[in-house]
């Protein structure tokens, strides 16, 4: 692929592609530790294809499964830049404060992240070495012979431009990969014959929920089949049950087909014991003592699980039946999908990717392209053969980052960390330090050469 020569000789410390919660994560970590302005002085180019920073959570018509307080925590940090203090008094922040210990609606979280994003955007004009490119799409990334990286971007101007940096952070958000998943031996979801199919990513949007309401209204006793047993599946069940048409659902008309029971979050072991929830020592976070801190279902997904499981002090929910996917033969599953009024695959996320070329102009296949983890433990993007790209980092929904126990993770957790708090804290810290490490190594090499 051809790419234009850099439009200027400016070399950035880092080019961040994507201005959602992932892309903002390392900057917000730096902001909390009083390091944002010095990083902007080194030179950061932030590329976002829409006109705003803050991401895409506003699409969804459900509540957050993180407490409101987890979004607000950054504002109270000691290093928070004075120029961003006004966020503490912003009306949207004040509204979020009402959800300090509860679960705010995602559209409100999105509004808040938009305010945070605007405050970050307002920092750029004061730092001549940095540049914010809104309404600009990053088209490709190129590893250069000299170890630097070039990113081809296209905004309002007629021709694409090339920016050069010592590192790049790729934060394009997630994509769902259910089409490639096997529902049963020999049966891919994409090959199932279904009347209506809405993957969780679509179902949970405002439009998706309106469509589901219509489908349920006309279901005439047919099942609504949710496939999956983690956060999205139980969030989907909760969201479906809130729809006006759900009042007429019969017992067991919503079916959750899961491979294994979900893990459930509890603030401590006493709470789990009081709820008769079975757990092991390995489910307890070493740092916080919470049960299933990283992998447990929270929020409304947890509420509905407790109702389905008939836990104490909740009204039992009998419109949902939970069945084991492996109890179905391939033909039974095919039939169940075909008969259902609606099928909802809830099978998780992988990172969205963009073309990356090596220094010979060859396009690399990335791990994320083949539905693997996009990154290693230091957030380096991985090529399909497992080779980390030393100065290209990945963060955000579906990146496959596996937190360490030191980050406050239960030893039994095998999943990926998809959380705004993690992007702004542990994961953001990893990327910031890696980027600064590259700068330090370069300075040392220059000093040795001199
Ligand atoms: C339904 C749902 C609910 C969730 N709830 C929570 C929750 O309660 N708490 C929590 O912590 N996490 C939650 N998550 C997980 C995750 O933290 C969020 O999805 C978060 O918004 C991910 O941020 P992101 O930056 O990776 O993606 P996005 O928010 O999608 O941002 C990606 C950005 O990249 C831009 N972009 C994409 N391609 C390009 C390109 N080529 N050039 C330039 N810009 C580009 C997009 O315009 C976008 O602004 C949820 C996820 C889902 C799907």
User: 19 with 168, same domain?
Assistant: yes
State mean pLDDT over 355-369: 97
Closest residue by Cα to atom 35, ligand 1, is 18
Does position 394 have pLDDT exceeding 50, yes or no?
yes
Report the largest interatomic distance among the alpha carbons of the chain, rounded to a whole angstrom. Answer: 79
User: 365 with 312, same domain?
Assistant: no
151: CA distance to ligand 1 center in Å? 21
Could you tell me if the CB of 428 is within 6 A of ligand 1? no
Q: State CA 224 to chain mean position distance.
A: 26
Percent of the chain with pLDDT strictly greater than 90: 87
Could you tell me if the CB of 64 is within 6 A of ligand 1? yes
Does position 4 have pLDDT exceeding 80, yes or no?
no
Q: What pLDDT is stored for residue 161 in this prediction?
A: 96
427: CA distance to ligand 1 center in Å? 15
User: 243 with 95, same domain?
Assistant: no
Query: Are the CB atoms for 402 and 416 separated by under 8 Å?
Result: yes
313: CA distance to ligand 1 center in Å? 35
Give the pTM: 0.94
Closest residue by Cα to atom 31, ligand 1, is 20
Tell me the per-residue pLDDT of 13-28, one tens digit each, with 9 for 90 and over: 999 999 999 999 999 9
Q: What pLDDT is stored for residue 101 in this prediction?
A: 96
172: CA distance to ligand 1 center in Å? 7
User: 119 with 16, same domain?
Assistant: yes
User: 79 with 202, same domain?
Assistant: no
Residue 7: pLDDT band with limits 50, 70, 90: low
Does position 393 have pLDDT exceeding 80, yes or no?
yes
Q: Which of 397, 415, 422, 423 to mutate to test the pocket of ligand 1 (most atoms within 8 A of CB)?
A: 397
Query: CA-to-CA distance for 54 and 106, rounded, in angstroms?
Result: 12
Q: What pLDDT is stored for residue 192 in this prediction?
A: 87
User: 143 with 243, same domain?
Assistant: no
Residue 8: pLDDT band with limits 50, 70, 90: low
Residue 438: pLDDT band with limits 50, 70, 90: confident
Last residue of some domain: 318, 347, 376?
A: 347
29 is a domain residue: yes
Domains contained in the chain, number: 2
125 is a domain residue: yes
Residue 189: pLDDT band with limits 50, 70, 90: confident
Q: What pLDDT is stored for residue 179 in this prediction?
A: 82
Q: What pLDDT is stored for residue 407 in this prediction?
A: 87
368 is a domain residue: yes
State mean pLDDT over 383-404: 95
Query: CA-to-CA distance for 446 and 441, rounded, in angstroms?
Result: 9
Question: HEC string of the chain?
Answer: CCCCCCCCCCEECEEEECCCHHHHHHHHHHHHCCCHHHHHHHCEEEECCCCCCCCCHHHECCECCCCHHHHHHHHHCCCCCHHHHHHHHCHHHHHHHCCCCCCCEHHHHHHHHHHHHHHHHHHHHHCCCCEEECCCEEEEEEECCCCCEEEEEECCCCCCEEEEECCEEECCCEEECHHHCEEECCEEHHHCCCCCECCHHHHCEHHHHHHHHHHHHCCCCCCEEEECCCHHHHHHHHHHHHCHHHHHCCCCCEEEEECCCCCECECCHHHHHHCCCCCCHHHECCCCCCECCCCCECHHHHHHHHHHCCCCCCCCCCCEEEEEHHHCCHHHHHHHHHHCCEEEECCCEEECCCCEECCCCCECCEHHHHCCCCECCCCEEEECCCCEEEEEEECCCCCCCCCCHHHCCCCCCCCCCCCHHHHHCHHHHHHHHHHHHHHHHHHHHHHHHC
Percent of the chain with pLDDT strictly greater than 70: 98
Mean pLDDT of the chain: 94
Residue 6: pLDDT band with limits 50, 70, 90: low
Could you tell me if the CB of 353 is within 6 A of ligand 1? no
55: CA distance to ligand 1 center in Å? 5
77 is a domain residue: yes
**Domain span at residue 23?**
11-175+350-449
Residue 447: pLDDT band with limits 50, 70, 90: confident
Could you tell me if the CB of 55 is within 6 A of ligand 1? yes
Residue 327: pLDDT band with limits 50, 70, 90: very high
289 is a domain residue: no
Last residue of some domain: 320, 347, 374?
A: 347
Q: What pLDDT is stored for residue 442 in this prediction?
A: 76
Q: Report the sign of the C-alpha dihedral through residues 353, 260, 296, 201, in that order.
A: positive
CATH number of the CATH domain containing 427: 3.50.50.60
Does position 1 have pLDDT exceeding 50, yes or no?
no
Q: Which of 173, 295, 347, 354 to mutate to test the pocket of ligand 1 (most atoms within 8 A of CB)?
A: 173
377: CA distance to ligand 1 center in Å? 20
Q: Which of 168, 226, 396, 416 to mutate to test the pocket of ligand 1 (most atoms within 8 A of CB)?
A: 396
Tell me the per-residue pLDDT of 150-178, one tens digit each, with 9 for 90 and over: 999 999 999 999 999 999 999 999 999 88
CATH number of the CATH domain containing 255: 3.50.50
Query: CA-to-CA distance for 16 and 8, rounded, in angstroms?
Result: 18
> Residue 191 contacts by C-beta under 8 Å, 6 or more apart in sequence?
none
By DSSP bridging, strand 254-258 and strand 388-394 are unpaired
User: 377 with 430, same domain?
Assistant: yes
Tell me the per-residue pLDDT of 64-119, one tens digit each, with 9 for 90 and over: 999 999 999 999 999 999 999 999 999 999 999 999 999 999 999 999 999 999 99
Tell me the per-residue pLDDT of 254-290, one tens digit each, with 9 for 90 and over: 999 999 999 999 999 999 999 999 999 999 998 899 9
């Amino acid at each position: 692929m051809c790419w234009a020569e850099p439009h200027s000789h400016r070399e950035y410390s880092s080019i961040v592609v994507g201005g959602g919660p992932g892309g903002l994560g390392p900057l917000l970590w730096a902001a909390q530790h009083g390091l944002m302005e010095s990083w902007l002085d080194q030179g950061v180019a932030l590329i976002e294809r829409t006109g705003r920073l803050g991401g895409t959570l506003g699409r969804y018509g459900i509540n957050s499964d993180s407490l409101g307080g987890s979004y607000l925590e950054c504002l109270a940090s000691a290093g928070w830049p004075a120029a961003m203090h006004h966020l503490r008094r912003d009306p949207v922040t004040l509204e979020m404060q009402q959800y300090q210990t509860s679960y705010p609606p995602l559209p409100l979280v999105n509004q808040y992240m938009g305010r945070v994003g605007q405050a970050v955007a307002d920092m750029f004009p004061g730092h001549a070495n940095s540049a914010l490119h809104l309404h600009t799409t990053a088209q490709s990334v190129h590893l250069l012979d000299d170890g630097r990286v070039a990113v081809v971007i296209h905004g309002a101007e007629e021709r694409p431009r090339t920016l050069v940096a010592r590192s790049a952070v790729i934060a394009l958000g997630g994509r769902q990969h259910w089409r490639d998943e096997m529902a049963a031996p020999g049966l891919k979801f994409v090959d199932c014959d279904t009347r209506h199919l809405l993957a969780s990513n679509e179902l949970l949007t405002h439009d998706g929920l309106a469509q589901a309401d219509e489908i349920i209204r006309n279901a005439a006793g047919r099942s609504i089949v949710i496939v999956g047993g983690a956060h999205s599946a139980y969030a989907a069940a909760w969201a479906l049950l809130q729809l006006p048409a759900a009042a007429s659902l019969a017992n067991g008309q919503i079916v959750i087909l899961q491979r294994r029971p979900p893990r459930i979050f509890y603030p401590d072991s006493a709470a789990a014991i009081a709820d008769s929830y079975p757990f092991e020592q390995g489910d307890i976070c070493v740092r916080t003592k919470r049960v299933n801190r990283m992998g447990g279902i929270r929020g409304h997904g947890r509420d509905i699980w407790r109702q389905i499981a008939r836990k104490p002090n909740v009204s039992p929910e009998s419109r949902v039946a939970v069945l084991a996917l492996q109890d179905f033969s391939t033909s039974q599953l095919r039939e169940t999908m075909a008969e259902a009024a609606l099928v909802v695959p809830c099978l998780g996320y992988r990172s969205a990717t963009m073309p990356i070329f090596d220094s010979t102009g060859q396009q690399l296949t990335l791990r994320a392209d083949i539905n693997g983890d996009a990154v290693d433990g230091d957030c380096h993007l991985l090529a399909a053969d497992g080779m980390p790209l030393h100065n290209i980092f990945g963060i955000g929904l579906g990146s496959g980052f596996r937190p360490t126990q030191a980050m406050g993770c239960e030893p039994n957790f095998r999943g990926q960390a998809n959380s705004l708090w993690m992007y702004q804290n542990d994961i953001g810290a990893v990327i910031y330090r890696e980027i600064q490490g590259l700068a330090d190594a370069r300075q040392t090499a220059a000093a040795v050469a001199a």
